[in-house]
Structure 1
Amino acid sequence: MRAAAPSTADWNRAITAAAGDLRLATHLFNGIPEPDTVSWNSLLSAYAARGRHAEALLLFRRMRRRQRGFTATTLSAALSSCARLRRRHLGRQIHALSLKTPASSSSPFVTSSLLALYSSHDLPSSLQAFSELPFKTPPCFNALLSALLAARRLPAARRLFDEMPARSVVTWTAMIGGLLREGLFDDALALFASAPAKNSVTWGLLLRGLASGNRFRDAVRVLAAEPDWTRVGAGAVAAALAACSRLNDGGRCGRAVHGRLIKIGAADNPTVQAALISFCFSAGAEDLNLNLNFFGGKSVAGCNALIRGYVGGGRVDEAFEIFDGMAERDGASFVLMIGGFLSKNMIAEAVDLFSSMADPTVEACTAIVPALIKIGRTAEAMDLYLRFDPDVVLSTAVVSALMSRGSVDLAMEIFAEITDPNAVTVNVVLSGLIKHGKIDEARDFFAAAKIKDEGTWSRMISGLARHGFFGEAFHLMKKMMRSSDGGKPEESAIAGLLAASANVSAVAAGEQIHGFAVKQGLDRRLIITNALIAMYGKCGSPDRARSAFDAAAIRDLVSWNAMINGYAINGRSAEAVEQMEKMESSGTKPDEITFLAALSACVHGGLVEQAKSYLVAMESEHGIRPRLEHYSCLVELLCRLGLVEEAMEVVSSMKCEPDAAVWSSLLGGCAGNSMADLAEGAAEKVMKMEPRGRAPYLAMARIYAGSGREGELRRPRKKTKARPGRSWIEIEGETVSFFAGSGHGGERGNEE
């Protein structure tokens, strides 16, 4: 008796069972004589679940062309793939399609996917989709919570979290992650402690977040307080070990963690092994009570960690011994070893190892091709590149290397061939154009870019500000805030705008940017704090600079330098010197910029002995060799006080060649003291170094007139045409620039 042919339902069950093997699932689907909607949904969901979102959307288009009916499952999977790929336009089309089938559009699964789609760029649409739900399920609440957190609407997210009728571990994890992302580590720790359920994702998120915020002891303390490490997960333990390596406690915490791992039998986990080995290298604790090579030999992950550690320490030969002795290698093994060779400029060895790969990976090519470009072997690199079917990661790496090398035209050619550029690729190109001063091309590229993220906008804003187009940069930031794909400027863009406003003394604009940073909760971030200190200092408000300094959550060398310089340029020399003393008392070591600011303060305050002591201390106490700028400050100070001969002694003893500024200071000192003979030598030096300058001629004229040598005034004077000076002022909050002798009211807006 002949067996009955399998029904479509049988085929569908087989596809569902094979969902983990997409090749088999696709083969089964293609064998169905008449696939129904369930068949399509099964395969579509399988592709989406496995992260193959581009293929999932292609399948959705095929399904639509076949005029198959859509269900909530279809729309949810397609919208999720759009969200993952940031295909917003297609997502909106599918959303519109879902509205034609009310039963599907009201599904919590569809709504959750819609919220995920809109969360990164269109919060109002997310809120509207949520409000229109007749029945709100926990996944819908979670999706809206994620949308609010993605939009950095933390207060609203916390209110929603507190009001949710039911919270799963996903909910708690998302809220904890949002707090960590905003730097609210204490709040995150408190919420974590009150969470009724935690999984390995929660643990890993918390420990990595604490470590990224330099809260290393908190990370270790939280892990130590957990009685059951089996619930924590290997990834979280690895994060804790990474935190241990930053504690500078001689490896004590790491040893304790290692001992406990042995007790619970978790030390053999490959992820844990790799983390232990990484800890040993980064903490300088290779004498820890474990044999590195023994542990590494147990797994590919362990061996890779050994290779990474040895390469990071510059011990490439030992790394290769591990690599050469591996019974089994994966692609990461080759990439790490190739990177090790490249770090030592062992190009031939890197190329040979790449060539020895039986099946060269794109990742390995991504390591070696940019390295060849950076050392000038572009033709060889492009030959390797063209052998592959490059993905967007490889192409982006090549474009970045070409931009770094200055091969802008070739980089643009490669970019034009990329069929699926992402925001990272766009940002690499934009950064390269700005770096090489091609600001007009950068403007055009930015305007034409179809994919923009916060980084794209921020790079354009920073680039305009850095190249002097402060007004345009400021207006672009405002436009970004209004744009659907703009989001909020990155910290670097805000810092760049603050720096630009300081350079043109646009304090009103700086205050607006400061206000924006406060509203976004960014004013306590270190890069913003430092920019605020510098901005207020340069704009003549040292007290406001001091307020920003005092309010800083953490301070680094840049913070101290900006504050000392702020006092110096505003003539508050005593406070600058006092700040210098406080800095040294805090344990922060000064650098050459610190001493330059302190010496500048001495010049403004006439503090000769203090300036001399700083110049001596630079080399004797801190091992910093004074540069021309440091000597120049002391020479200027001595000349201002009429100590010209002592200034000349300083010039004679300098360990670097004096420049025009030093000789000009001497010339000015001579002019004030009618020292014609010494002045002639200084003037001659300035004239040779700056032949177009008129200052030395005018200074000598004053000296000759003051010393009764009027006859010398008949010497031929070199006629020069000086470049007109330029200045900026603020009028009614707008920056206006003026050129000396221009005869008109100045230029508003873009400073070109």
Structure 2
Amino acid sequence: MPRISVQYLLSSLSGLLDQYSSSKILGVSSALLAQLTKIGFLHKNLPVSHLYSVFFAAGDVTPWNALIAALSRQGFPVIAIQAFSVMHRIALPLESYSLCSSLSAASSPQANALNLGKQIHAYALKSGEMSSIFLGGALIDFYSRTDDIQGAHQVFDEIPVRNTVCLNALLNGYVEKKLWMEGLSLFRIFYSLRLDPDDRTISAVLRICAEMSFSRLGMQCHAHLVRRISGVEKDVFLLSSLVEMYGKCGLVGKVHFVFRMFDHAAGEGRRDVVLWTSLLNAYGRNGLFDEVISTFEEMLVEGTEPDEIVMLAVLSACARSGNVMKGLLYLESMVKEYKLAPRHEHYSCVVDLLCRAGELGKAWEFVDEIASEDSGNGGIMFAVSAWGAILSACRDSGNVKIGKLAFQRAIQLDQDNVGMHVELSNLYARVGMWDELAELRNFMVDKGIKKDIGFSRLEIGN
């Protein structure tokens, strides 16, 4: 359906307002626009006058609410905001439903409408709409999505009634900003407010436990899910969160147990690729690289198609286990069999694989080959880690020429990378190039480039 046909339909509906009941025509119009946005026929540059002409005679907010909600959901936040502005301009009452939909549109990166969200917040305070628990949750979600976590917390303090949705919106805001301890502090007040955490709450807390290695709290969340959330064994999203949490806490036995929970619940059902990815990453994070490869092959036997993230986990396992032939075979199958386009992370894993196996020459040939396929711009196709692998191999073999080239490519991507400067200094020290070593260290001091000091944290006690 071309763009002109959409305009013609809207104009025709507008003309029917004079002949038939406006409420019926408006209902059809809003339903039509909702369907057009769903199936992609509504052009983003469709003139606003055509889009709203059929709605101007409406004294009812219902079709407007439906229009704004449909546009916001289907990826047209700018047009949704324009519809909200027109609705306000023609003096239609602004209800909680239209305000919530407009806040969702305003939080979209495409709209970049932070000021509109704050204006809606001010309107809600003055009009008394802050008493709506739905609008309170929408405001918290808006501020969280726009990286204003203080604004989200302010709204949380302002709303008179709080429910689990409101707390989840703020909790997810803390998690996205990696404010782990603040998120845990918020989680602790759930029961003081006589609210029960739901699956979304536990999922956010599990991510905090994974990042902070809070294994005991993670196991308590697991127990809560089993006792209070029905059907957790079939919820791939929750199972993946549990697998990731146990994997980052180093509890590999628990990882396998959670993964097999799906078998007992789903019978012959096929596990989602996300769940397989969580298992592969958990094994790889704990050094079980052979299990990564065997699990990947089990996944293929089950009939689950791999994606780019799965292939990255497998290639990384091949690199660390020294399985050169399988690693190269998997990279080839990624393109030919699974029709996936390798990214710089995949190529970097292959470079690391060859360097760890002592094949520095083949690694450099591989880089040149990819560079030639990429119009000679091979530096962009490889991450800093790939050049670090080559430089590390050069340090072991004493190859200064290739080591310098790898260092130059790496600093084009990250000029202040500490690891690359340290590796080059180690290479100079190995071959006895003391003048160059002193010059490099003086450069690091002048630029303030320092090696990070490692530290560990242990969870002690109950």
TM-score by length of 2: 0.81
Q: Aligned residue for 2:386?
A: 662
The CA distance in 2 between the partners of 1:348 and 1:636, in whole Å, is 50
- State how 1:633-672 maps to structure 2 within 5 Å: 633-654=349-370, 655=374, 657-672=381-396
CA-CA distance at 1:588 after TM superposition: 1.4
Query: 1:549: how far off?
Result: 0.5
Task: Give the CA deviation at 1:403.
Answer: 2.4
Q: Distance in 1 between matches of 2:454 and 2:426?
A: 27
> Which residue number corresponds to residue 215 of structure 2?
507
Partner residue in 2 for 1:483? 193
The answer as to whether partners of 1:534 and 1:566 remain within 8 angstroms in 2 is yes
Distance verdict in 2 for CA 1:452–1:725, change over 3 Å: farther
Larger-gyration structure (1/2): 1
1:399 matched to 2:103? The reply is: yes
SS at match of 2:457: strand
| In structure 1, C-alpha distance between the alignment counterparts of 2:387 and 2:36, rounded to whole Å | 49
Q: 2:26 aligns with which of 309, 331, 342?
A: 331
Question: What is aligned with 2:176?
Answer: 466
1:257-286 per-residue CA deviation (whole Å, 9 max, x = no partner) reads xxxxxxxxxxxxxxxxxxxxxxxxxxxxxx
Is the contact between residue 569 and residue 601 of structure 1 (CA under 8 Å) also seen in structure 2? Answer: no
Q: How much has 1:509 moved relative to structure 2?
A: 2.1
Which residue is equivalent to 2:163? 453
- Decide which of 234, 257, 262 is 1:547's aligned counterpart: 257
User: What's the RMSD between the two structures over aligned residues?
Assistant: 3.2
Rate the CA distance shift 1:382–1:666 in 2: closer, same or farther, 3 A.
same
Question: For the Cα contact (< 8 Å) 2:243–2:279, is it kept in 1?
Answer: yes
Displacement of 1:400: 2.1
| Distance change >3 Å, CA 340–CA 516, structure 1 → 2 | closer
Tell me by how many angstroms 1:618 deviates: 0.9
Q: 1:680 to 1:514 in 2, by over 3 A?
A: same
Aligned-residue offset at 1:614: 1.2
Match of 2:129 among 407, 420, 439: 420
Gap change, CA 1:732 and 1:659, over 3 Å in 2: closer
1:334-373 alignment to 2 at 5 Å? 334-342=29-37, 343=40, 344-345=42-43, 348=46, 351-352=49-50, 354-357=52-55, 358-359=57-58, 361-368=60-67, 371=71
Residue 544 of structure 1, CA deviation: 0.9
In 2, Cα distance between the equivalents of 1:708 and 1:585? 53
> Of 607, 614, 617, which aligns to 2:333?
617
Paired with 2:352 and 2:9, the residues of 1 have a C-alpha distance of 57
Q: Structure 2: how far apart are the matches of 1:726 and 1:414?
A: 46
What amino acid is the match of 2:129? D
Cα separation, 1, equivalents of 2:43 and 2:312: 36
- After TM superposition, the structure 1 = structure 2 runs for residues 98-177 of structure 1, keeping only pairs within 5 Å, are none
The residue aligned with 1:408 is 114
Corresponding residue number in structure 1 for 2:459: 731
Choose which of 404, 429, 452 in structure 2 pairs with 1:680. 404
- Closer, same or farther: CA 412–317 of 1 in aligned 2, 3 Å: closer
Distance apart, 1:415 and its partner CA: 2.8
Tell me, yes or no, if structure 1 residue 386 matches structure 2 residue 89. Answer: yes
Mapped to 1, the partners of 2:229 and 2:85 lie a distance apart of 45
Note the C-alpha offset of 1:454: 1.1
Give the structure 1 partner of residue 306 of structure 2: 590
1:34 aligned partner: none
| Residue from 536, 549, 567 that aligns with 2:246 | 536
Distance 1:363 1:723 in 2: 61
Change (3 A) 1:316 1:663: farther
Counterparts of 1:80-99 in structure 2 under 5 Å? none
Tell me, in whole angstroms, the C-alpha distance in 1 between the residues paired with 2:453 and 2:157.
33
Q: Do the aligned partners of 1:538 and 1:569 also contact (CA within 8 Å) in 2?
A: yes
Corresponding residue pairs, total:
420
Question: Which residue matches 1:239?
Answer: none
* Contact map agreement 2:133 2:162 (CA 8 A) in 1: yes
Contact 1:606 1:637 in 2 (8 A): yes
Instruction: Name 1:243's counterpart in structure 2.
Output: none
> Taking structure 1 as reference, are residues 731 and 683 closer, same or farther at Cα in structure 2, changes over 3 Å only?
same
Tell me the alpha carbon deviations over residues 282-338 of structure 1, each in whole angstroms, 9 at most, x when there is no partner: xxxxxxxxxxxxxxxxxxxxxxxxxxxx99xx99869959x8699884433110222
1:600-640 deviation digits (Å, cap 9, x = unpaired): 22122111111111111111111110011111111112112
Q: Tell me the equivalent position of 2:377.
A: none
Partners in 2 of 1:723 and 1:519 — Cα distance?
47
1:221-240 superposed matches below 5 A? none
Distance 1:446 1:723, change over 3 A: farther
**1:509–1:727: structure 2 CA closer, same or farther, 3 Å change rule?**
farther
For 2:381 and 2:254, how far apart are their aligned partners in 1? 39
Structure 1 residues 666 and 497: CA distance shift in structure 2, 3 A:
same
Residues in 2 aligned to 1:315 and 1:607: alpha-carbon distance in whole angstroms:
58
Aligned match of 1:49: none
Conserved 8 A contact 1:644-1:669: yes
Identity of matched residues, %: 22
Query: Take 1:708 and 1:346, find their aligned partners in 2: how far apart are those partners?
Result: 63
Deviations 1:531-561 (A, max 9, x none): 0011111221222111001012353111111
In structure 2, the residue corresponding to 1:683 is in which secondary structure?
helix
Q: Compared with structure 1, are the counterparts of its residues 722 and 508 closer, same or farther at alpha carbon in structure 2 (3 Å cutoff)?
A: farther
CA distance in 1, matches of 2:286, 2:455: 18
Cα displacement (A) at 1:346:
5.7
Structure 1 residue 595: Cα displacement? 0.5
Residues 701, 722 of structure 1: CA spacing in aligned structure 2 closer, same or farther, 3 A cutoff? closer
Pick the aligned partner of 1:568 from 284, 289, 296. Answer: 284
**Bigger shift: 691-700 or 577-586?**
691-700
| Shift in Å, 1:529 | 0.9
From the superposition, tell whether residues 346 and 544 of structure 1 become closer, same or farther in structure 2 (CA, over 3 Å).
closer
CA–CA distance in structure 1, aligned partners of residues 98 and 415 of structure 2: 51
- Structure 1 or 2: more helix by fraction: 2
5 Å matches for 1:39-118? none
Contact 1:369 1:385 in 2 (8 A): no
Indicate the SS of the match to 2:147: coil
Q: Does the C-alpha gap of structure 1 residues 331 and 317 become closer, same or farther in structure 2, counting only changes over 3 Å?
A: closer
Q: What does residue range 180-199 of structure 1 map to in structure 2 within 5 Å?
A: none
Deviations 1:485-511 (A, max 9, x none): xx2223122112112211222222211
Give the C-alpha shift of residue 351 in structure 1: 4.0
1:434 Cα offset (Å) = 1.2
Q: Relative to 1, partners in 2 of residues 1:727 and 1:515: Cα closer, same or farther, differing over 3 Å?
A: farther
Distance of 2:120 and 2:422 partners within structure 1: 56
2:103 maps to a residue whose letter is V
Q: Does the CA-based 8 Å contact 1:674-1:706 persist in structure 2?
A: yes
| Cα distance change on mapping 1:710 and 1:727 into 2, 3 Å | closer
TM-score, scaled relative to structure 1:
0.51
Which residue of structure 1 aligns with residue 140 of structure 2? 430
Q: Kindly indicate whether the alpha-carbon contact (under 8 Å) linking 2:237 and 2:275 is maintained by their aligned counterparts in 1.
A: no
Distance 2:44 2:410 in 1: 48
Other structure's SS at 1:401 match: helix
| Structure 1 unmatched ranges of 5 or more | 1-309, 735-752
Q: Label 1:589 to 1:352 Cα distance change in 2 as closer, same or farther (>3 A).
A: same
Which amino acid in structure 2 is aligned with residue 477 of structure 1?
F
Alignment deviations for residues 404-438 of structure 1 (CA, whole Å, 9 cap, x no partner)? 23323321221332333422211111112112221
